[in-house]
Structure 1
Amino acid sequence: MASIWLKTVGALAALGVIGGVGFVMVTRPAKQPESHWANLGEPDLANGERIFWAGGCVSCHAAPGAEGEAKLVLSGGAPLKSPFGTFHAPNISPDPNAGIGAWTLAEFGDAMTLGTGRNGEHLYPSFPYGSYVRLQAKDINDLYGFMKTLPASNSVAPAHELPFPFNVRLVLGGWKFLYFNDEPRVTLASADDKVKRGQYLVEGPGHCGECHTPRDALGGFKSGQWLAGGPNPEGEGSIPNITPGSKSMGGWSESEIVEYLTSGFTPDFDSVGGSMVEVQKNMAQLPAEDREAIAAYLKAIPAVQ
């Protein structure tokens, strides 16, 4: 009997090892094929700046408290508190050592669209690659080209402060397996070009859902709750519902949404507040047609009460 029991335990252990190895292989960090980043030509810096502001890069990667031109020094360091620990935005300035100045386009693009670091490691989804995966290769090329024109900083951002098991990057493969994909967040009835542009901006570079969509216990978006609001992922207050089913913003017209993104004023003559202040400042840098596209998309998505 003892011999049978030992054999059974051994067989189960072997299956566990095989299963673990298989899981690691299936969920290992991915990279785009080389052809994905080939033949993109010289970056369009104007479009790169447009994507830069749509992505709100300064909101996380500028030094805490930076104002004016100093916000373009993307030295990182800003803390992002979450139920899983505190993340610190890295230096993404053109500095070749502390920043990303020595990265190739492929390394930058794989980080942006696949959450794979330069050394082949999983990146934490506090960096919103779950949204950036929808970015076109041309926009990535243009964005990286523009970012290379910004001031370099040799500041080294603090390390993340994460308890076990969240400090083990291997588990991020499982998170990606469950939640990471490049599918549209919602199916839209309208095929209007303006709405489609808005979808690209909101679901991609704008990464609006990262704050405005409620999450489950593992940090993934709750199904059927796109942009429906919920607890602030940083732990303070709540983030509003911005679907047409919202009791407040749901009644706003497209032009009122555009005005809010442009000036920061609501139809009730209130002004933008909280973490949305930085977002609104970024959106105000976009061409008017992009703000109009965002507004059209927000009026076209499914209403969630």
Structure 2
Amino acid sequence: MSFGSFRQSVQALAEAGWLPSALGWGFAVNALLAGLIVGPMLGSLGTLVVVRRHAFFAEAVGHAALTGVAIGILAGEPYTGPYGALFGYCLIFSVGLEYLRGRTGLSADTLIGVFLSMSLALGASVLLILAGRINVHILENVLFGSILTVDGTDLAVLAVVALVVTALSAWLYNRFMVASFHPAMALVRGIPVRTLDYLFVMLVTVVTVASLKIVGAVLVGALLVIPAAAARTVARSLAGFWWLSVGIASFSTLAGILLPMQLDLPVPSGAAIILVAGACFLICAGLRALVPSLKGVT
């Protein structure tokens, strides 16, 4: 089924009352399709982010994306999708950080703080240069997400990134887990731990950049962490941990996209998504406290 046919089918079901009335709009169908891609992708990769303790790193990449947008606009890329500068700058940021992580003697959080500070300073400087050329609402969309701006190009980028990330994650998931829990054992078994480290930060980076239009630079790292953190508190196995994280992330994304439109609330899509995910986390944490048998994945 082509995208045009899918959109027409969804709009017809919305008009017939089988789906929320908000999906009668074309941009809402774009957002729905983006959410169906973003939610499972972030939920799956988020399990590795939590296990590998890369929450601060994921947040830093999201903030670095603002600098990538500024550089892209300065270089003449369209402000609606400066993907060249976004992917290029954020990959340099993440790979450079990972390269120095084992060569400076500094802790990971200290090094991330240094890189993030320099990146934000660079981004702020470039944005001041561009102050007379861009609309402030563009920055709001980048920071907090905007379903109104999702177009065919964004969906194509999301689809390609999701295909690549899903394929690599499925192929290497067990190796990532072993390298995360027992790096020494992974080396003994011949698993290239450092290569996996580089590959992992690159996967987190491309997923973060591709998800900006839906979740926003400030909050995309949170959607990588919160569903997985919620799932880890109550899941009894690694398989359950993965499925529950994907389910929470998918539900949060779709609910955060549809509820503001359906209720006519002036809330950015990214903020609504994270609020739903946060509510899920509080529920899971409450269940963990009330039901002692829910020990979670350690």
When Rg is computed on C-alpha atoms for both structures, the one with the higher figure is: 1
Q: Larger relative contact order (C-alpha < 8 A, sep ≥ 6)?
A: 2
TM-based fold match above 0.5: no
Greater per-residue helix proportion:
2
For the aligned pair, the TM-score class normalised by the smaller chain equals under 0.3
